[in-house]
Structure 1
Amino acid sequence: MEPGTDKINFTASYYQDGEYKTLNFSDYSDKFVVLFFYPQDFGEAITTQIQLMEKRKDIFPSNTYCFGISTDSLEAHRFFVEDQLRENIGVEHVMPLICDQTGKISSKFKVLNKDTFEASLSCFIIDNIGTVLACMASDPRLGFDLEEVGRTVFAVQAAISKDDWHHSMGTPAGWKPGDQFVRIDIITRAVGLNLEVQNSTDQNSGNQSSQISQKTGSMGLRFW
């Protein structure tokens, strides 16, 4: 599943805090969600990830809902949480773990390995209107950089808070909370075959801008 995919919806069972529950993803259609797919319970990557998520509760914005998903059974999730994470390691807070024994959810997100019937290690960041805005994947032996996942969630929320988010406004590379935003203006105009690069600074406002022009049009970047 690629960024831009919208209307995400599925129903599944999950385990959390000693209970088996049912998730209707439509109930989270107006919330920010991160879905973490992983191959199997008791794996090093998911174990250390959950440990870090408890230690660093500030990695994600407080209004973000995180879920883990694997093709393990609900019973396997329970043993993983209660015996491994809580009893052996001492982790208290564990995100809900969704059971995808049929592989339908993993298939929907295009992360199911049909040979092993396991989900690839991957995550999807979904905004508050149910659209996938970012996705990441790695070899199962390489745990996620949760700092980067969290930074992306902060960037998504900060950009959406701007009125013109859906008019080419976003964050530049390496953006962190408190940094400036960038807006891309595309103007259609013929200027010949040669590439023109123009850089300018507004002396009055201090805003920086750059433009790249071609025969098909021009693109301007504005930071503020």
Structure 2
Amino acid sequence: MSLINTQVKPFKATAYHNGKFVELSETSLKGKWSVLFFYPADFTFVCPTELGDLADHYDTFKSLGVEIYGVSTDTHFTHKAWHDTSDTIKKIKYPLIGDPTGTLTRNFGVMIEEEGLALRGTFVINPEGQIKLMEVHDNGIGRDAQELLRKVQAAQYVANHPGEVCPAKWTPGAETLAPSLDLVGKI
């Protein structure tokens, strides 16, 4: 069953953020756009490339009112240790959520049970706490922060312009569509 347009399920977790441990829950996501970016594990290979890519685009996400949350089944202590030892992870300004119980990872359907690790899952959540985008990758396939940014911009546009939709490869400023009987068979 798809999670699209469902509410984020209740959770409590601790994140490492800006040199501190902070408590988060589903209510932490309300009132702003959020991206939950699940990855398998700290101290690995593809994961730091993705998290570094997000760090490089973080200011752009923030300018759009979007908070990024990196999530793995590691602990918040492990996130701190990784931050302290990796130049790539040191540049991260967004929270890294520890999910050692797997509650959050299971809530989003990305737990690999036999490994206790998360799949590469990306979820865009609107300010009301509804999931508007989900994408899940095999763990060998890295994601692209710029493409995620485009999808967030499309989700925000659709939310702010009822009756309009964004076609393939839409970017801000490009033409949108207004679905109607007149468009059937003409695209």
TM-score (norm 2): 0.89
Which residue, 164, 167, 175 being the options, matches 1:172?
167
Query: Are the aligned partners of 1:60 and 1:154 in contact in 2 as well (CA < 8 Å)?
Result: no
Which structure has the highest strand share of the two?
A: 1
Which structure has the highest helix share of the two?
A: 2
Identity %: 26
Gaps of 5+ in 2: none
Query: Are the aligned partners of 2:52 and 2:91 in contact in 1 as well (CA < 8 Å)?
Result: no
Q: CA deviation at 1:90?
A: 7.6
Query: Are the aligned partners of 1:51 and 1:91 in contact in 2 as well (CA < 8 Å)?
Result: no
Q: CA deviation at 1:8?
A: 4.2
Partner Cα distance (1:82, 1:132) in 2: 32
Greater RCO (CA < 8 Å, at least 6 residues apart): 2
Q: CA deviation at 1:138?
A: 1.3
Tell me which residue corresponds to 1:83: 85
Partner Cα distance (1:7, 1:146) in 2: 22
Query: Are the aligned partners of 1:59 and 1:146 in contact in 2 as well (CA < 8 Å)?
Result: no
Which residue, 173, 183, 186 being the options, matches 1:210?
183
1:183-202 matches, cutoff 5 A: 183-185=178-180
1:44-83 matches, cutoff 5 A: 44-57=45-58, 60=61, 62=63, 63-83=65-85
Is residue 35 of structure 2 the alignment partner of residue 34 of structure 1? yes
Query: Are the aligned partners of 2:48 and 2:89 in contact in 1 as well (CA < 8 Å)?
Result: no
Is residue 2 of structure 2 the alignment partner of residue 5 of structure 1? no
Greater gyration radius: 1
1:43-192 matches, cutoff 5 A: 43-57=44-58, 60=61, 62=63, 63-85=65-87, 89=88, 91-162=90-161, 165=162, 168-185=163-180
TM-score (norm 1): 0.75
Aligned structure 1 segments of 4 or more residues deviating by more than 6 angstroms: none
Gaps of 5+ in 1: 187-208, 213-219
